[in-house]
Chain A
Amino acid sequence: MAFEALYREHFASIWRGVQRFGVAERDAADATQEVFLIAYRSYGRFEGRSSVRTWLFGIAFRVAAARLRSASNRLEVLSGQRLLEDQPVQAALSEQRELVQLLELGLASLPLEQRAVLALFELEGFSGEEIAAVLEIPLGTVRSRLRLARAAFTRTLRELHAASRVFDRAPPREATHE
């Protein structure tokens, strides 16, 4: 497979993925380039033991984690509660944009390890085994992190209830956690 084809096939999902892992949208393109640069250098050693997508997301997670550890980015990673206090959901936003913002707030409220599991499982459709490969953790840890992430995510959304008109249009129903 030509690397360009691989790049094109996975660009959007990696661009989205690094943001799910906490990279700011304005930095997402650069982080995505870093992911593909590492992949390009390392592709000679990729043996296909996991899917290319799983492999790329593993790199993406580490790139995002490294960026989040840096001082400047750390300052940008605010908790969902802090974001809520600083930037209340604006009524002028479209419902779609409002929902996306809620998602960002909900994910931002989670520790990176939980956020990654939730995003990979719920948004990217990875299986538990694939998530274990991406994050290099045991399957049991994936399960426990998902459980914790779901509970915290739901809690954050409930906390946002009063601030978001989305809830006014459709009363929220409790989601099952497992």
Chain B
Amino acid sequence: MNDIKRWLDDPLACNSLEARVLSAGQSLTPPPGLEERSLAEFTGLVAVVAATATNAAAATPGELALLAEPGGAALGSTATTSLALGALKSLGIGVALGALGLGALQAFTPSLVPSTPRPTTSAASAASATARRAGSPSSEPQLPTEAQQAPAAAPSSIPSVGAPQNPSRSVTAPRAPSEAASSDSTAAPAAIDPPETTGSERRATASAPEASAPARLAASELKAEAQELARARNLLGEGRAGEALRVLEASARRFASGALRDERELLQVQALARLGQTEAARSRARLFLARDPKSALAPRMRRAAGLE
């Protein structure tokens, strides 16, 4: 498309109304402070998602042992605890995840600082293997992170995610996108819908919500959804599974197509299992697994429902 000049670059069109309108549009910037507020909220959101994925509150003794393996070696780090609590506070979540949950946050970190590029086709399995090594089998793809290696020195309140899988590829050196899109299902931007992607992520694709689906998240509803999830998770951690289930069911009605639906469904299954409603838990888990068998949360879902 090199033969097509942008209106703003075209001398013949530079004073056109089109160019003036476009030029004005380029000046659009976020309101002052929005980026900082959003970053603080995002940090808290990531903490909640990560804590749910690793599920410290509902972890079995065996799972606790897993979390204490090398990937969770930083559990209890005072600096990290303060960091994550600050993040949650910024989100407005008045819950104490505890050192274990915060360690889980680190274990969740999908950092990518591989020493060598990985073959595309093995990316998912490699990530899964790494996740197992990190002691967090249900979490997203992850590799050892800077935060895990030196948590107290981590300057960022968002877990570091390192570089893309092939660090030799500059983020400013894109490849032919049509090739990427057609030849490799794990490549960006198709990577938002890879096999191990959660259902929530898939719902962000073109095949997501139908016209009759409930309204998507409105302003700040993502935050509210995360808050409810944290509340339910906290109740579950306190052994109040019935209350947790009620919170989750109300949340499911309110955020039927919310971005955190998968995390909520996992907590629902765990709550049912805690209440002794084994068949109900298994039924829900099977539905989840049928819909999204390669979800990053699938292993924990199976474990929670006793399907392993």
Residues of A that sit less than 8 Å from B by CB: 1-8, 11-12, 15-16, 19, 26-27, 29-30, 32-34, 36-55, 57-59, 62-63, 65-67, 69-74, 96, 99-100, 102-103, 106, 121-123, 125, 127-130, 132-134, 136, 138-139, 142-143, 146, 150, 153-154, 157, 166-167, 170, 172-176, 178
In the complex formed, the residue of B with least CB distance to A19 is B28
Within 8 A of A (CB), among B162-184: 162-167, 169-181, 184
**Chain B residue at smallest Cβ distance from A50:** B174
Residues A29 and B219 in contact, CB atoms below 8 Å apart: yes
A174 to B38, CA, bound (A): 41
B144 contacts partner chain A, Cβ-Cβ < 8 Å: no
Q: Smallest CB-CB separation from A98: which chain B residue?
A: B24
A103 to B46, CA, bound (A): 35
Which residues does chain A contribute within 8 Å of B43, judged by CB atoms? Answer: 4
Residues facing A in B1-43 (CB within 8 A) are 1, 3-8, 10, 12-13, 15-30, 34-35, 38-39, 41-43
Determine if B271 is an interface residue (Cβ-Cβ < 8 Å): no
Q: Is B273 an interface residue (CB 8 A)?
A: no
Give the A-binding residues of B (Cβ under 8 A).
1, 3-8, 10, 12-13, 15-30, 34-35, 38-39, 41-43, 45-46, 49, 110-112, 120, 123-124, 127, 140-143, 146, 155-167, 169-181, 184, 186-192, 194, 196-198, 200-201, 203-206, 208-223, 257, 259, 296
A136 contacts B215, CB within 8 Å? no
Partner of B171, one of A16, A27, A36, A51: A51
Return chain B residues, CB-CB under 8 Å to A134.
Answer: 177, 189
Extra contacts, 8 of them, besides A43-B112, A49-B177 (Cβ < 8 A), are A54-B177, A55-B189, A66-B205, A66-B209, A99-B23, A121-B6, A154-B18, A173-B17
Evaluate whether A70 and B192 lie within 8 angstroms (CB atoms) in the complex, with A49-B175, A49-B180, A122-B6 already known: no
Closest-by-CB residue of A relative to B211 is A69
